[in-house]
Amino acid sequence: MDPSILIIDDSHAVRQQILDILRKTSLFNSFHEAGSVIDGFKIALNNPVDVILCDLEMPGMDGFKFLNMVNTRGELRDIPVIMVTGREDQETKIKGLEQGASDYVTKPFDPAELVARIKVQLKIKTLQDSLKESNQALLELSNTDPLTRLSNRRCLMEALEREYKRSERSKSPLSLIMLDIDHFKKVNDSYGHQEGDVVLVALADMLRHHLREYDMAARFGGEEFALVLPDTDMPRAVQVAERLRESAGEMTFSGILRNLKLTISLGVACYPRGNRIKSVDDLIRLADYALYNAKGAGRDRVEVMEG
């Protein structure tokens, strides 16, 4: 953690006074200062800041204007802003708090009180950041297959629904590839389930490597995977599927799996194409049926199902 503070005040002497006070503490490793609201806003946008100390009365744009500007940017809204003012009236303080200020310090301020109020806001910000990280980790866990680290089936269905609606609106193509490891039961029977897991993870890594940033690879269940390809028509999707099939055949393993020759079968469906796809379920059904045909036609191949 590298805590930082931004001090906005049109008086260089006041800024220096605050910096002298804070540098005697161990609260912050980085210090930023600005002599105007505009300069302070630019610094906040371009640098990680944990606490902002902002003078209320400044020529041109005042502290209230700064609060309004902060409220327009989502990435700044969680940064605590402590207003510094020479005013004692409650109306001014209430107005600032209603507009998003976290606290007030009144001039002339006591150094100990200033440090104490900043320390409280820094602690709150630290706890908020920690909570965000925990929530993000939980979200990733709820959307991720624990073995392969690809998206899980629930996340896949949500993404498919979202991309399908987008494709409906924009009339852009959406392709779905279903793929399955050929004879995977023999892998588990011959080498054990732990080695079977090694194969699944390796295949997942290969899929992740070959797809675009906005594509999605998901574990559909067992040894079956699904690939969502937005803005991809049928010919392009077939090219992707063939490339993945060839890459799977080139995969090598070590140890007990060193002689394993891996092949996969793939089925491709695309929307809009024909009139048989009216929903996400139809798209999945056709891709899965194409995969079934690939299995039936001898495996290690790509089959398509027209919509």
pLDDT tens readout for residues 160-169: 999 999 999 9
- CA-based end-to-end distance of the chain: 53
- The answer to whether residues 158 and 284 belong to one domain is yes
- The answer to whether residues 236 and 259 belong to one domain is yes
What's the number of domains the chain is made of? 2
- The answer to whether residues 98 and 45 belong to one domain is yes
Q: Can you tell me the mean pLDDT for 284-290?
A: 96
Would you say 257 and 199 are in contact if contact means Cβ atoms under 8 Å apart?
yes
- The answer to whether residues 161 and 138 belong to one domain is no
Q: What is the mean pLDDT of the chain?
A: 92
- The answer to whether residues 94 and 202 belong to one domain is no
Around Cβ 83, how many Cβ atoms within 10 Å?
A: 29
Q: Which residues, 6+ apart, have CB-to-CB distance to 286 below 8 Å? A: 269, 276, 277, 305, 306, 307
- The answer to whether residues 109 and 165 belong to one domain is no
CA-to-CA dists, residue 228 to 103, 199, 201, angstroms: 48, 22, 19
Which of 107, 142, 177 is the endpoint of a domain? 142
Query: 237 falls in which pLDDT band (50, 70, 90)?
Result: very high
- The answer to whether residues 175 and 294 belong to one domain is yes
- The answer to whether residues 162 and 276 belong to one domain is yes
The answer to whether 133 is a known catalytic residue is: no
33, 163, 223, 303: which is the annotated catalytic residue?
223
Residue 1's pLDDT is 60
CA-to-CA dists, residue 200 to 222, 226, 247, angstroms: 9, 13, 14
Lowest pLDDT segment from 61-65, 129-133, 219-223: 129-133
Predicted TM-score (pTM) of the model is 0.63
Query: 307 falls in which pLDDT band (50, 70, 90)?
Result: low
Query: 87 falls in which pLDDT band (50, 70, 90)?
Result: confident
In the predicted structure, residue 88 carries a pLDDT above the cut 80: no
Query: 132 falls in which pLDDT band (50, 70, 90)?
Result: confident
Which of 113, 142, 171 is the endpoint of a domain? 142
* Domain span including residue 163: 153-304
What is the distance between the alpha carbons of residues 245 and 264, in angstroms, rounded to a whole number?
A: 6
